[in-house]
Amino acid sequence: MLALATPGRAQIDVEIVAGDNIIVDSNVLSPSTYAPETFTVQVTYCNNTAAPINDVYAHIGNIDDGGATAATPGTYPVRDSDADAAFQAESPHLANTGDYFITHAAVQADTTRYIGTLNPGQCVTLYWMMCYPKLSNTGTEPVWGESRLDNDDLWLELDAWASQLDAGTINPGNSVGEDTHEVTMRRSIGAMANKVSGPTGAVWTVTDLNGNPLDAGTPAKPGQVIKVCGTGFNLGVDNKGYDSDGNFAPDYAVWLQPVGDKNLYDPLCFRLVRTEGQLRISRSGGNPTYVLDFVDQTYFTDLPNDTNGGVGDVCYHLVAMTGPCSMALSPYQMVASGADNEKFNGDFGAASPGVDTGESPVTFSKSVDLDSAAAGTALTYDILFTNPAGEDPLGLPEYGMPLVVNEQIPAGTSYVAGSAEGIVAGETTANYNDSGGFMDVLYSTDDGLSYTNTEPGDPTQVTHIQWWLDSKLQGGDSAFVQFQVAIDDPFSGSSPLIENTAGLSFGDGPPFREDQAGTLLTGNNSLGGTVWKDSDRDGTLNGGETGIQDVQVSLYFDVDGDGVIDEGDPLIATRDTAADGTYS
């Protein structure tokens, strides 16, 4: 794997660490076997220069051979079986069946992640999960083609790269280091000698970092790091396999994977941030057991070629991103199984350790200074959040996931220049290149697709704002952010209710706390009437019928127009009728 460089820029060494072969069940056409269908890659980003590199972002998808303007995080390189003659010749069973590509297992936003500052000699490891095709687009052919051949198996590529802020803007095309990795879909068998669960496989536990058990009754809190550990999994015999590195010798490879069933896992609920464990490979001929302790490694190659079996332990560290939510891992292992063959654990699915999150203890509130206002009026929004006393520090800057406040400029309003500000108690952390305050303010002019740390010259173009905290929020501490908008005059919105939602997240993850505030636009019209005793029940105020005093009349805005007062329909005004029954 080669990390490419962009001349004239600070350089980051990027390396995709992943297996070269992907499992496709030998029974994929008539699936009698429950088999993996996703894989997780790790990507390391290292600063091997003598100076810090600031404002670093990580991406995965398609760098398009270094073409800066064509870089597309989340969209992977495509192989076209209709137009690519070489593809057709190599994999005739897939000819003229459309495009083939890897797909990302999470949302698009997950494919760009913030790293911050990489200091000299520092490396950061990120994990991404993705899916791959197992059958032709017609559904009639395995992507591995003829079972007796391996040179017709489908292969696909993925790119990972790093970028820096470009004139203050997140620009995925501004690459400062890249890597490309090729994976081949291989016909694989489920081997019962390989196990991830008992009685001769692993025992799985879910705990916090101190070893305290977690479950649905004692769930993780958003922002908490947990461990899912399997102790004593059985690899069986790691025998030969493919020569993926081209050194004319089998690779003797093992690939440990946390998730094989995409339907059980929710990457927005938990994010994998670290792996650790140990492999123990027994050897023949009286040779001592090969023991390998590992951290942030899932793929192992060039293991001993005299093995007669292997076992191991693994712990997956996961960050709870939001809550409440539940999901499960579905760990598996890919192991060499003879010359040009691969196998996976035959008990896939037997181990599906569940993980849960509960409500965050953080309080989060948003308010606006005016409940109603006319066109042209300025509105001030305040957002306050508190980490209660006694709680652990909140935010994960060490993983590129500090606390982030997310805001969207309401429709029918415009951002007021210079109004975004924030205050938080705490110390700044060295992993962030901040602008001199306790939090960095980022602005978007394209509906949140990209951000800049420089306020645009035309504030009316701002669509979204983010505040990134530069330190963890300690227990008992609070943070406060504020911004202003001006109601357009003439008003350009589609609803007289000016409403929007603020969210609190960890880095680029989904919000785990939200709150809403609204202002009703006032106009030139008025509303009034009379409450009376309708003696003849004809719905008309007739002579001799008298008004009723002190009746409370409430006016609501019917948000969905259904003629019913629903939860969320705001109260506009309340009046008591006068002595003659009138109100206005």
Over 90: is that where the pLDDT of 130 sits? yes
29: its two tokens: 């056409």
pLDDT tens digit sequence for 437-479: 468 899 999 898 788 888 999 999 999 999 999 888 999 999 9
What's the CA gap between 230 and 211, in Å, rounded? Answer: 13
Task: Say what the pLDDT of residue 166 is.
Answer: 67
Q: What is the pLDDT of residue 327?
A: 94
Domains and CATH numbers, the chain: 1-187 (2.60.40.10), 192-359 (2.60.40), 363-521 (2.60.40.1530), 526-584 (no CATH)
Percent of the chain scoring above 90 in pLDDT? 57
- Which position has the token pair 């489920």? 190
Q: Which of 248, 242, 137 is nearest to 184 (CA)?
A: 242
Average pLDDT of the chain to the nearest whole number: 88
**Of 53-62, 173-182, 203-212, 238-247, which gets the smallest average pLDDT?**
238-247
What does residue 332 show for φ and ψ, rounded to 5 degrees? -150, 175
Please name the residues in contact with 260: beta carbons below 8 A apart, sequence gap of 6 or more: 35, 36, 37, 38, 330, 331, 332, 348
Q: What does each C-alpha distance from 360 to 131, 219, 508, 559 come to in angstroms?
A: 31, 11, 17, 30
Angstrom distance (rounded) from CA 224 to CA 230: 20
H-helix or E-strand containing 87?
A: helix 85-90
SS3 for 369-408 is CCCEECCCCEEEEEEEEECCCCCCCECEHHHCECEEEEEE
Q: Where does residue 307 rank: exposed (0-12), middle (13-18), buried (19+ CB within 10 A)?
A: buried
DSSP secondary structure string, 8-30? TS---EEEEE--SEEEEETTTTS
Q: How confident is the model at residue 368 (pLDDT cuts 50, 70, 90)?
A: very high
- Residue 168's pLDDT is what? 60
Averaged pLDDT for residues 293-310: 91
Average pLDDT score over residue span 119-137: 96
Highest mean pLDDT among 52-61, 69-78, 397-406, 410-419: 410-419
The model carries a pTM of 0.85
Is 1's pLDDT higher than 50?
A: no
pLDDT band at 65 (very low <50, low <70, confident <90, very high): low
